[in-house]
Amino acid sequence: MNCVFCGSAAVTERPEVTARGYRRFRCRDCGRQFNERSAGALNRTCLPSDIIAFVVFCRLRYRLTLRDLSEIMALRGIEVSYEAVCDWETKLLPIMGDVLRKRRHGTRRGPGVSWFVDETYLKVRGRWAYLYRAIDRDGNLVDAILSEHRDMKAAKAFFQTARATMGYRPDRITTDGHGSYPRAIRSMLGTTVRHRTSAHLGARTPLPLCRRARPRSGGPVTGCAASARRDKQNMIRINNV
């Protein structure tokens, strides 16, 4: 293990461990001490990393609010505020997203891969922007970007990042029929990708997001509006880290 401060390999393991059970090290070059998770996003957190990762997983996988997770942890004898759970989620979302992108990069689910592309106009930090988004036929998010304009340049940039994220080209793309899509698809993905237009199929809601719609005051928000709102919140969280 190299030093997290100077990068030196001259590291000696200390006999004592941290209060959470992590090994401690000392760099012989710079003289500074560190532990196993000093360079990680969860350094100085009050719980072990595996417990925090499990809490964030439950937050994303099931219909659980921040206060629900705080109560569940209290039943297990661990007192954690809902603000702490929100802070963990903010720290781990970008890391988990990068790991998932690398894991699925270049992995096709089978023949006849289809992407469904649409864009939503929403306000981010007081400024209106277009949220370009693509999902596959299973409802999994392919990629999403924010753009100030809805034009050819934005469409080309979106397809370029989506192809770089997935590592392959789809066989078919369904859009809402905007005039910039046909040329952008031919330029960025090639002429072999089939393009079709549909006002309904192009605006499908990602299925996992729809099933995990968070309950809000006045009833749960579902559908494309709820999905766009969650995509907007996730983009803001990633930009803040």
Q: Note the pLDDT tens digit of each residue in 6-61.
A: 888 889 989 998 887 888 899 988 988 988 888 888 888 888 888 998 999 898 88
Could you read off the pLDDT of 186-209 as tens digits, one per residue? 999 999 999 999 866 655 544 444
Average pLDDT score over the chain: 80
Could you read off the pLDDT of 80-99 as tens digits, one per residue? 999 999 999 988 888 887 77
pLDDT for res 203? 52
pTM: 0.55
Helix axes 181-189, 152-166, angle to 10 degrees: 40
3-state secondary structure the chain: CCCCCCCCCCEEEEEEECCCCCEEEEECCCCCEEECCCCCCCCCCCCCHHHHHHHHHHHHHCCCCHHHHHHHHHHCCCCCCHHHHHHHHHHHHHHHHHHHHHHHCCCCCCCCCEEEEEEEEEEECCEEEEEEEEEECCCCEEEEEEECCCCHHHHHHHHHHHHHHHCCCCCEEEECCCCCHHHHHHHHHCCCCEEEECCCHHHCCCHHHHHCCCCCCCCCCCHHHHHHHHHHHHHHHHHHC
pLDDT for res 221? 40
pLDDT for res 140? 80
What whole-number distance in Å separates Cα of residue 52 and Cα of residue 94? 15
| Fold category of 114-213+220-240 in CATH | Nucleotidyltransferase; domain 5 (3.30.420)
